[in-house]
Chain A
Amino acid sequence: MAYGTVSADIIQSSVPGVSLGAGNASIMKNRIINGAMGIAQRGTSTSITSNGQFCSVDRFRTYTNGTWGTGTFTATQSSSAPTGFSNSLGITITATDALSTSTASYIIGQTIEGNNTYDLGYGTANAKTVTLSFWVQSSLTGTFGGVIQNNAGNYSYPFSYTISSANTWTQISVTIAGPTTGTWLTGTSGSIYVYWSLGANSSLLAAAGSWTSTANISGATGQTNIISTNGATFYITGVQLEVGSSATGFEYRQYGQELALCQRYFYKAASGLGASGLGEAFAAGTYYNTAQISAFLNFPVTMRTAPTLYYTSVAGYYRFDASNTSVSFSTLTTYYVAATGTMIYNASTSGTQGNGGIMSTTNASSYIGFTAEL
C-alpha cells in the first residue's frame, strides 16, 4: 500500500538541526571522511610549513595551487567544538605571507576518492547538486573562501561564506549545482577536492557561485586571507558533503567505522611504548637467514593502493625478540607490498635462521605507519 510522495528534498523533524535529506540514503550520506575531526592517527599537533602535510586529523591536509611561501601554522586536533561535536581542526598562524607573489596559495582540505563519488555524475548531463556544510570559527571576521575542484585543477567552483562574529562557532551551508562538464576521475584516483582557502594572491581567486575552467583557482574573490595575520586562528568541524540542495543533520558514525574509513588511506601500525610502557608489537616474523629478519604485517582494512611505509628511522627504535634474545635495529624496508598487507624486513641484525619472533617498538618516539593517501 502506497502512502504518497513527499515533494521535498529535505524532511525536517521537530528537533532543530535534525532532518533527513535527498541523498537516497540516511547513512553514509556524507562523502567527507572524519568530518567531525575525531581521528588523529598521526598525532594531535603538527607544525605546517609546506604543501602536502597532514593537519593532525586524518584525511585533512595542506594543498597549494601555486607555491607555498613564507606562511606557516600549527594544526591541532582541538577540543574546541560547537555543541554536538568533541573536536575540531584548529589552525593558528605562526608566520605570515603577504601574498604578493602571483602564485601564492595556501589551502587546507580533503580529496574524495573516485570510488565514493561516481554516483554524482560529475562531468555529465546528470550531475547532481550537492551541499557542503560545516561549522567554523575564526579570530577574524569577514568573507572567507573555498573551492570545489577536480583532480587536474582546471575546473572549479569557488564559494564564499561569512563569519560575522569573531571566535564564535557559525554553521555554514553552501549548495553547489553539479558540473556538467570538466574531467572528474573515478576509481581509486582523487575525484573531488574540497578546499578551504587560508590565503591566495588575487590572481588565483575567482567569483563565488559558479563553475569556472580557469586553472588553479584557490579561493573566492574578496576573501579574507588568514595566512596574512600572525596569530590568527581558524577552527573547522562538522564537515559534510551530501547530495541535495539543503544541508541535513550531520551524519554521526561510530568511532570504529570512522577509523576504518580513515585507515583505507593511513594506518598507524604502532607508536611509542604502548600501554605496557615496554613497546608495541607490530609484526610477527622469522630469521629468513642469519642476517635478515622478515615479517608479515596485515592491514586492518584494504587500503586504497599499495601503501608507503612511513617510520621514524633512529638507532634502537625497534627490536626483534626471538628465542629469548632481543636485538635492536633502526631501519625497515617493505617488499611484496599490497593493499591488504606487506612483508617487512631488516637486514642489519644477526640470529639463528628459522627462529621466529616479534617486531616491536622500543622508544616513545618510535612510529610506524602506512600511507595510501590521495
Chain B
Amino acid sequence: MYKLIKNPFNGKEDTVTKTEGDITLCIPFADDNTDYQAYLKWLEAGNTPLPADTGA
C-alpha cells in the first residue's frame, strides 16, 4: 500500500512510500520516474493511498 509523505519544509505532499517486507520505496513525484508512473496507474485503477502523517 502506498502512503503519502509531506515534505517537512513546505508541507506539500510530493512523495509516496511503499513497503514490501523489509524493503521500502520512497518515490518522488517525478514524471519520468517509472515507480511514480506505476503509482499513477494504481490511482487510475481507483485506489487510494494512506494519508500522510499529521504534522509530518
Contact = CB atoms under 8 A, between A and B. Distances in A.
Interface of A: 188-189, 288, 292, 294, 304-314, 331-337, 345, 347, 365, 371-374
Contacts of A373: 34
Nearest to A188: B32
Interface residues of B, number: 23
Which 7 residue pairs are nearest across A and B when measured between Cβ atoms? Answer: A305-B32, A306-B30, A309-B26, A313-B24, A337-B28, A308-B35, A335-B7
A333 B5 contact: yes
A189 B15 contact: no
B45 interface: no
Contact of A333 (B17, B19, B35): B17
Given A188-B32, A189-B32, A305-B30, A312 B22 contact: yes
A313 B8 contact: no
A15 to B, nearest CB: 42
Interface of B: 5, 7-9, 14-15, 17, 19, 22-28, 30-36, 56
Contacts of A294: 8
B14 A335 contact: yes
Nearest to B14: A335
Contacts of B32: 188-189, 304-306, 372
B30 A337 contact: yes
B33 A308 contact: yes
Contacts of B56: 347
Contacts of A371: 35
Given A292-B8, A309-B24, 12 more contacts: A189-B32, A288-B8, A307-B28, A307-B33, A308-B25, A308-B33, A308-B35, A308-B36, A309-B25, A312-B23, A335-B9, A347-B8
A373 B26 CA distance: 14
28 contacts: A288-B8, A292-B8, A305-B31, A305-B32, A306-B28, A306-B30, A308-B25, A308-B26, A308-B27, A308-B28, A308-B36, A309-B25, A310-B23, A310-B24, A314-B22, A331-B24, A332-B24, A333-B15, A334-B15, A334-B28, A335-B9, A335-B14, A336-B7, A347-B56, A371-B35, A372-B32, A372-B33, A373-B34
A314 B14 CA distance: 24
Nearest to A289: B8
B50 to A, nearest CB: 14
A249 to B, nearest CB: 33
A314 B19 CA distance: 11
Contacts of A305: 30-33
